[in-house]
A and B are shown apart, each in its own frame.
Chain A
């Protein structure tokens, strides 16, 4: 014995409370007359109530703490990968994402940390925590250019190191920003640096040209 087809298919909507008043009345009238359907609808409702007992998924803090940094690292890693893969490696493709990342890491940002009354030691601590927290599968290492690398590999390594060092500073900045008012001020000040984006792109282009000369591509 099965519940009546023409009513049965509406029961999920019914228990989720999605039917309008007249539709609900129609269903309820039927449930009063039909024991099988009443049992089915009641069972669906009990199932929903049981599902509601499950607690929400809450990510552990030790995972979410490094979340943003992980995202930035992935962005940088991907940009770098694409540069390695591309045959002509045109800077314009990467200028956008890289300038965003780099705009957070201008060397002058160090001055702001100091002016904000924050100890250089805590910055170093931030870098240390930030770096050690990264378990993400990036092959970035504090490597140096090896003698037997091809020119293309040297270029790739140079960029890896660029991105790596820049990101480490970004970690520190975010850690410090996370727990104090001074960090919020820092946040506002950092946005002022963004005006320098175009300079950064130009600077990166020059660096790259020089590297190309040196490595003889």
Chain B
């Protein structure tokens, strides 16, 4: 009996790819392309850069898959590769620290202050503005906090999966996530209050 491709597991597709099926690789790529692009976009903040990163992720997978020995799920491995490439991409660029980031680095406490723009009388937040506001808030998190939060909240990875990708303990993942939430709460409060009033 032939199993419909859509219901084949990652493991089945990997096995087919190892036996020479390029289609199996393409199915895997189709299955995860959007997720990996979105993840890369959260880091790179440009569609073009996100595409570059995501393409490189799958090129790496293509090269490495024949010799890959699963220690966790394919998905976890995929995100590990993606995360490393996002980090490489980030390091390859001249960092332009924003005012608020500098302020955060100078301040060793875990309590961020809302950026000045939060006090703007923005009555109607458009979707794109919400995206910008949230992206700026995420940038104020520590690298680990942001990574955990993005993987959990946007990529819908489980705590255990995130722990594998980042090679940290489950409890540490939860701690980073909670700290991220507390910072986001402070940074985003002015905005949701505005929406509440409006």
**What residues of chain B lie closer than 8 Å to A161, measured between beta carbons?**
none
Instruction: Choose one: A9, A51, A104; the contact of B153 (CB below 8 Å).
Output: A51
**What residues of chain A lie closer than 8 Å to B33, measured between beta carbons?**
64, 67
Tell me if B29 and A71 are in contact (CB < 8 A).
Answer: yes
A159 to B28, CA, bound (A): 28
**What residues of chain B lie closer than 8 Å to A64, measured between beta carbons?**
33-34, 37, 51
A-B contact count (CB 8 A): 105
* Smallest beta-carbon distance B93→chain A, Å: 15
Kindly identify, within residues 42 to 84 of chain A, every residue whose CB is under 8 Å from any CB belonging to chain B: 43-44, 46-51, 53-57, 59-60, 63-64, 67-68, 70-71, 74-75, 78
A136 to B195, CA, bound (A): 42
A contact face: mostly helix, strand, loop, or mixed: helix
A67 to B134, CA, bound (A): 27
A165 within 8 A of partner (CB): no
Tell me if A103 and B22 are in contact (CB < 8 A).
Answer: yes
**What residues of chain A lie closer than 8 Å to B42, measured between beta carbons?**
57
A54 to B154, CA, bound (A): 10
**What residues of chain B lie closer than 8 Å to A78, measured between beta carbons?**
59, 63
B118 within 8 A of partner (CB): no
Tell me if B63 and A100 are in contact (CB < 8 A).
Answer: no
Tell me if B55 and A136 are in contact (CB < 8 A).
Answer: yes
Instruction: Choose one: B22, B63, B131; the contact of A54 (CB below 8 Å).
Output: B131
Kindly identify, within residues 118 to 171 of chain B, every residue whose CB is under 8 Å from any CB belonging to chain A: 127, 130-131, 134, 153-154
**What residues of chain B lie closer than 8 Å to A43, measured between beta carbons?**
185, 189
B23 within 8 A of partner (CB): yes
Tell me if B192 and A70 are in contact (CB < 8 A).
Answer: no
Tell me if A191 and B23 are in contact (CB < 8 A).
Answer: yes
* Smallest beta-carbon distance A148→chain B, Å: 32
Tell me if A57 and B41 are in contact (CB < 8 A).
Answer: yes
A47 to B130, CA, bound (A): 12
Tell me if B51 and A97 are in contact (CB < 8 A).
Answer: no
Kindly identify, within residues 1 to 21 of chain A, every residue whose CB is under 8 Å from any CB belonging to chain B: 9, 11-13, 15
Kindly identify, within residues 28 to 49 of chain A, every residue whose CB is under 8 Å from any CB belonging to chain B: 43-44, 46-49
Chain B positions near chain A (C-beta within 8 angstroms): 20-23, 26, 29, 33-34, 37-38, 41-42, 47-48, 50-52, 54-56, 58-59, 62-63, 66, 127, 130-131, 134, 153-154, 174, 177-178, 181-182, 184-185, 188-189, 191-192, 195-196
Known interface pairs A12-B174, A97-B63; 12 further A-B residue pairs with C-beta atoms within 8 A, sorted by A's residue number: A11-B178, A12-B178, A48-B181, A50-B188, A50-B192, A51-B188, A53-B195, A55-B130, A67-B54, A71-B29, A71-B55, A191-B23
Closest 3 CB pairs of A and B: A74-B59, A57-B38, A50-B192
